[in-house]
Amino acid sequence: MTRLRAHLDGLRQRGETAMGLFLTAGFPSPAATLPILQAVDTAGADFIELGMPFSDPVAEGLPIQQASERALAQGATMAHTFETAAAFRQTSDTPLLLMGYANPVMRYGVGDFCADAASSGVDGLILPDVPPEEAAEVEEAAARHGLSITHLIAPNTSDDRVRLVDARSTGFVYAVSVTGLTGSGLGDTDATDAYLARARGLVEQPLLVGFGISTHADAERLTRHTDGFIVGSALIREAARLWDDRDLTDSARRERVGEWARTLKTGDAPTS
């Protein structure tokens, strides 16, 4: 069992809600990524998704598109992503996933990629543009190196396909809350609740929901039928706001992004 799955299963058994946070490697600068990861980890993130910068992130809304562009413009590479993962792992046991697109993985070589990810302390992969029908090579390489694979479902996913995704996922099932891009906001409340309730009845793996979540209230509503939630675009926006504010010290930035993550998880107001 992977570190990710053991952690999610433990939370599930205790009736606790998992919070996953996404940040693009190399954003808002190559030097700033690690301190942000460490701050949100300390603040209570249950797992972290480290985004692999890519020039054409097809499922992403504007905040994550711009984060990839900014990271690449500052020289972010796959090597830097692995270095960031390894540095994070030196000080934390929190599960760490790589999330991104197939193109960079295929160019790197699937076997080499999984080997280097595992040696960097990564626990699993999420590749939104690799459906289960096309994932055999990635799944086999990931299994050899002890990495979990997470597949995605959406509101228009059929029951049979939800079961297929559940059977092929080894980390968790990622329920996209809306049919659209990341950061696009939440859709119709009743329809979303019905979709997540349907998914809950079909999925045996941990079920986590993402896309469009910005606040603790959003997370509370969407986790009535799920085991946890994932936030990416809102963290990207907060990191950009803090690290682009030249009046703040690095210490203040780290403290504030940590407070933001803590508030997202608990709903408690920041202490300062």
What are the catalytic residues?
49, 60
Q: What does each C-alpha distance from 174 to 1, 17, 37, 75, 122 come to in angstroms? A: 18, 14, 21, 30, 18
Residue 239 CA neighbour count, 13 Å, CB half: 32
- CA–CA distance, 245 with 133 (Å, rounded to integer): 45
CA nearest neighbour of 21 among 267, 257, 235 = 235
Residues 6+ apart with CB under 8 A from 212: 177, 178, 180, 182, 183, 184, 185, 186, 187, 218
Q: Write out the two tokens for 140.
A: 């086999």
Burial degree of 21 (CB within 10 A; 0-12, 13-18, 19+): buried
